[in-house]
Amino acid sequence: MSARLDGEVIVLEGQCRVEDAEPLLAWLQANRSRIVDLTNADHLHGAVFQVLIALKPAIRGEGKDAFLRDWLVPVLATAKSSGPGLREG
């Protein structure tokens, strides 16, 4: 698995696959103030990216891959600044 919880930081590293989306979602729902660290991420599966877009956590790092850095991280920054994400209800 390419996702791990390190204290209050969710670390995404390497090739983040579809199976990483479910624990990512659970960790963010359990504590919405957690930070997601993309510093060592090479690739985000669409499902992982969708969780990040929906829940809008604070993001640290830009990833190793040019596509992630140049296209996906700016979208996540824009989503974060556009208001709250999904809420449990």
Query: In the chain, which stretches have pLDDT less than 50?
Result: 89
**pLDDT, position 80:** 79
Contact present, 73 and 62 (Cβ < 8 Å): yes
- State the DSSP string of 68-79: IIIIIHHHHHHH
Residue 63: closest CA among 52, 55, 54:
52
Please report, for the chain, the start and end positions of each structural domain, with discontinuous segments joined by +: 3-81
Write down the pTM of the prediction.
0.89
**pLDDT, position 82:** 74
Three-state DSSP class for residue 4: strand
